[in-house]
Chains A and B, each alone.
Chain A
């Protein structure tokens, strides 16, 4: 069984991003970029499946500019067998990424595609579901536990107010929640080794796939700040404020 893991290179979650001065987009110049945290969970799970002999190969793919190769090398150091850089025209929306992933999944004859449940830059949470629809495969979104037996996946996924367990026939698409596992840390010698591995380049524009964006970002701004708050000196004062000023308690 071959597993495809898709990874997106995103701004580190500790960075406080700002709009560009003209408000046209997010200013990401010079900020620290990392593998989307949820994709690390997806990769970790896939590598564990291979280590347990359930998967034969883990292939990572990322679509974007040349810098995504650095993330792909890190993924190799974390245990992926090989990597594909989808060299993409500027902006791809979720539907375009899903179409490209379908191409890769079919070409690689994958049985399982694993993604993150959401990319922490745009917080869309759509790509896995879109990919599953395009492939006409079943899906499990926001998965926090996963087991494979033959061609059946047993998963637990997180939903509002609780969780669900599902039984799903392979081939399938899975998106990882943060609680699926605790990703391992990359080791320096593995990173050095990964530097020598070749990464396949896929020219996305040459595939004959309609990648024109459906969604276009017109403007980015900082949300209006909440009015400044006040410090209270005691529990009694807090209660008085909540009751008399804010009127949120009886």
Chain B
């Protein structure tokens, strides 16, 4: 038996999370196959080290697939595999529970630790607690928090095989997509993230304050739910329990309190900086470096320092 990894859909090349999921898949010590969908570059995926075979299902309905199509495809392949896993991104969150139900097995969401053949560690209660969960032996279906695993190298040479996709069923149809796009690194895999909270006060001030700092550091921009709900930042910038989980080298929390639901998404950051006028705010206890200051003074000053030193 072997392990099947569902690759994230990448506009070009290979998503970092896919390489991380492939590393996680080595845990079982069995051959690892990789399923890529639609127009995704199968040859690029064949270079991921530790992959035996790339299965490429290229059908029009799989270019931007709905969960129903992905689940039917995976259900058809499941009989050949002991484990089906993927990074905990929206594709897998959408499709893998469907596969689990079709196979009458349980699913483990967002494992952060792989302990045995069917034993996992995963955060619960917004990361407040860590649970060890045993899944029943038999087919294992799971998503992993990709940032917890080293990315597999790109010096492999897997074979590629085209596989047929079941016909589209048509009861669910994708009619549009909106992406943040732009020049910024992707929030989930950025090396530096600058996040703002409610205290920014308006969309204009959010951008005026944070964009120069993010530009200077080549950072992605994140936000709290309070900032998103107030319309200062788009939905997809929300970091936390119900937004994106980030794990950058540097996370700068600007004028946010550090509610549990927010910090659930940042605890894997290597270094956390907090700037807040309230020395008692929970984020100030969590941070590696905390600065008690008014953000509207401190952030521009930070940008000025970084600029003058860069040009000096």
* A162 and B178 form a contact (CB under 8 A): yes
Interface string of B224-257 (1 = CB under 8 A from A): 0100110000011000011010000110000000
* A223 and B127 form a contact (CB under 8 A): yes
Alpha-carbon separation in the docked complex, A142 to B99 (Å):
18
Residue with the highest number of chain B CB atoms closer than 10 Å, among A19, A154, A213, A235:
A235
Q: Which of A126, A162, A222 contacts B179 (CB 8 A)?
A: A162
A29 contacts partner chain B, Cβ-Cβ < 8 Å: no
What count of chain A residues pass the 8 Å CB interface test?
A: 80
* A218 and B134 form a contact (CB under 8 A): yes
* B134 and A215 form a contact (CB under 8 A): yes
* A163 and B267 form a contact (CB under 8 A): no
Given contacts A248-B270, A248-B271, whether A220 and B67 have CB atoms under 8 Å apart is: no
Given contacts A129-B94, A129-B97, A229-B289, whether A163 and B134 have CB atoms under 8 Å apart is: no
Task: Note all chain A residues with C-beta closer than 8 A to B43.
Answer: none
Q: Which of A139, A164, A172 contacts B176 (CB 8 A)?
A: A164
Task: Note all chain B residues with C-beta closer than 8 A to A213.
Answer: 106
Chain B nearest Cβ from A225, distance in angstroms: 9
Main secondary structure of the interface of B (DSSP, over half): mixed
Q: Which of B89, B95, B129, B284 contacts A19 (CB 8 A)?
A: B129
B186 contacts partner chain A, Cβ-Cβ < 8 Å: yes
Task: Note all chain A residues with C-beta closer than 8 A to B133.
Answer: 215-218
Given contacts A26-B124, A129-B97, whether A144 and B130 have CB atoms under 8 Å apart is: no
Q: Which residue of A lies closest to B305 (CB)?
A: A239
Residue with the highest number of chain B CB atoms closer than 10 Å, among A18, A118, A131, A164:
A164
* A94 and B173 form a contact (CB under 8 A): no
What count of chain B residues pass the 8 Å CB interface test?
A: 89
Alpha-carbon separation in the docked complex, A163 to B176 (Å):
8
* B107 and A17 form a contact (CB under 8 A): no
Q: Which of A178, A227, A249 contacts B242 (CB 8 A)?
A: A178
Name the interface residues of A153-196: CB closer than 8 Å to any CB of B: 154, 158-169, 172, 177-179
Q: Which residue of A lies closest to B237 (CB)?
A: A161
28 A–B contact pairs at CB < 8 A?
A: A13-B126, A94-B97, A94-B107, A121-B125, A123-B110, A130-B107, A138-B68, A158-B235, A160-B188, A160-B236, A162-B179, A164-B177, A166-B172, A179-B228, A214-B105, A218-B134, A219-B131, A219-B132, A220-B131, A221-B132, A222-B130, A223-B129, A227-B288, A231-B290, A235-B301, A242-B273, A246-B271, A248-B270
**What 4 additional pairs, Cβ within 8 angstroms, besides A129-B67, A179-B228?**
A130-B107, A132-B98, A179-B235, A223-B267
